[in-house]
Amino acid sequence: MRNILYCLIITAFFLSCTQQYQFLNYEDFRKLGDIRAPDAPVFINDLSSDRFQNKPRPVWKWSTSKDAVISRYSFKDSSVVADWTETKASAFSPENDLTDDDYTLYVQAADLARNWSVSANLTITVDLIPPGPPVISGSAFTANPKPAWDWDSSDDAVSFIAAIDTTGDSKWAYTAA
């Protein structure tokens, strides 16, 4: 079987028939013969800090391969997958505030021939409700020069700030959970 390259040139003429524009050049046409989809987009969010959000409108960011010319995304909350929306942007933030839940964004990339990549997805958990206050145990008054206190807190607390105020100008110290 022989491979044959066909060339299609689309030309537009204005009413005056004096100008013409070629919408598809040879290089673009050659790319249209490509049936290989580009690589899937790669999310560039910092997963160590972006996976959980205390903002009602988180931002998903991605990059595409150099042969991708357009992306499309589909946003999913816990119950609905939205239709695909095409974009030349490489980031998405919802138009409306989100509530506490998990949200997944699916992204695909297409080349000039509109070969769509497989989907990449990233789930972000929106957590807008702060944890309850810790329950402190230990003596409020002591003669011990190195007093110790313990505390229990809700399961969703991941860090604490503790202060001992002896002078009235609280010096805060960050303590990991």
Helix (H, G, I), strand (E, B) or coil at 49: helix
Residue 149 φ/ψ region, left for φ over 0, alpha for ψ in the -120 to 50 degree band, beta for the rest: beta
How high is the pLDDT of residue 108? 95
From first to last of the 177 residues of the chain, give the pLDDT tens digit.
444 444 444 444 444 444 444 445 555 555 556 678 999 999 998 766 678 888 899 999 999 999 999 999 998 865 666 789 999 999 999 999 999 999 999 999 999 889 999 999 999 999 898 888 888 887 777 788 777 888 887 777 777 777 666 665 556 555 555
Instruction: Supply the CATH number for residue 52's domain.
Output: 2.60.40.10
Tell me, yes or no, whether 47 and 112 share the same domain. yes
Tell me, yes or no, whether 143 and 98 share the same domain. no
Tell me, yes or no, whether 119 and 50 share the same domain. yes
Q: Which residues contact 44 (CB under 8 A, 6 or more apart)?
A: 61, 62, 63
Pairwise CA distance, residues 72 & 124, whole Å: 18
DSSP state, residue 27: H
Tell me, yes or no, whether 72 and 53 share the same domain. yes
Query: What is the number of domains present in the chain?
Result: 2
How high is the pLDDT of residue 152? 81
Q: Which residues contact 55 (CB under 8 A, 6 or more apart)?
A: 126
Tell me, yes or no, whether 112 and 155 share the same domain. no
Tell me, yes or no, whether 107 and 90 share the same domain. yes
Tell me, yes or no, whether 120 and 169 share the same domain. no
What range does the domain containing 159 cover? 135-176
4 domain-assigned? no
Tell me, yes or no, whether 68 and 110 share the same domain. yes
The answer to whether residues 12 and 20 touch, using CB atoms and an 8 Å cutoff, is yes
Nearest CA to 59 out of 26, 23, 2, 103 is that of 103
Nearest CA to 107 out of 76, 63, 72 is that of 72
Where do runs of H (alpha helix) occur along 33-134? 47-50
